[in-house]
Amino acid sequence: MRIVDAGYEILDLLNGEEILKKIERVARVCYKSEDKITEGSAEKMVRALIKSNHMAMLEHYSFSVKFICDRGVSHEIVRHRVASYAQESTRYCNYNKSGDVAFIRPVFFAEDTPEMDNWVDSCMRAEKTYNYLISEGRTPQEARSVLPNSLKTEVVMTANLREWRHFLSLRACGSTGKPHPQMLEVAVPLLKELRERVPVVFDDLEPMEWETVK
């Protein structure tokens, strides 16, 4: 059994300046104002688009992020329909062959507490039962039925800038409620990085301090 931390990886090279320039070029087609493109005009244009809620222009740039999270969080991620996904399959991945089953460390249980000890014990028992079923000739898709939501999974999400804004407003900012702590664990750092790497597009989204809501 392995206990791993949740995380994410941006799979594309994000050049914030070039992203803004592309959005400007696309948006100016609407107004036939390509002649007004100057040094620094892209940032002003994108800021105006967001302020006026002309978000359709943000759909013209997409990028991918790989999340390492538990199965429970992955179910929330894939609910965002205006995106494409690739996810580690428990039907076809045989964890017995890889040597052990990996589980995501729960951020809401402190180390060396009865809650954490019981969580570890339950995961160890799930792994033992999973390996037993595989050894008895059951397929991975049958044996997976004993694995908990804490099972580690990897899911790649590809979406355009508009959908990333929507995703992060819900999952990192809590615009319509209180996100799950393990979702905040990956969504908040992602938003903070995007605010640094892609100017303007994510500036108005304020990430929650997820450590305070565990």
**pLDDT score for 35:** 87
CB 65 within 8 A of CB 5: no
Q: What's the pTM value of the predicted model, to 2 decimals?
A: 0.93
Q: List the end-to-end C-alpha distance of the chain, in Å, as a whole number.
A: 24
Per-residue tokens: 128: 């033992």
Q: How high is the pLDDT of residue 159? A: 98
Q: How many residues does the chain have?
A: 214
Tokens 């407003």 — which residue? 169
Q: Please report the pLDDT score of residue 78 as a whole number.
A: 95
Q: What is the per-residue burial (b if ≥16 Cβ within 10 Å, else e) of 26-51?
A: ebbeeeeeeeeeeeeebeebbbebbe
pLDDT of residue 81: 87
**Per-residue pLDDT at 98:** 77
Q: What is the pLDDT of residue 211?
A: 64
pLDDT reported for residue 210: 66
What residues contact residue 94 under an 8 Å CB cut-off, 6+ apart?
A: 134, 140
E strand or H helix that includes residue 135: helix 114-135
Q: What are phi and psi of 65, to 5 degrees?
A: -130, 135
Residues with pLDDT less than 50, the chain? 212-214
The answer to whether residues 126 and 148 touch, using CB atoms and an 8 Å cutoff, is yes
d(CA 198, CA 138): 48
Q: What is the pLDDT of residue 213?
A: 46
Give the separation between CA 80 and CA 116, rounded to whole angstroms: 31
Q: What is the DSSP letter of 173?
A: S
Q: What φ, ψ does residue 91 adopt, rounded to 5°? A: -75, -35
Enter the DSSP assignment of 106.
P
CA 143 to chain CA mean position, Å: 27
Range 43-49, long-range pairs (CB < 8 A, 24+ positions): 43/199, 43/200, 45/20, 46/20, 46/200, 46/201, 47/200, 49/23
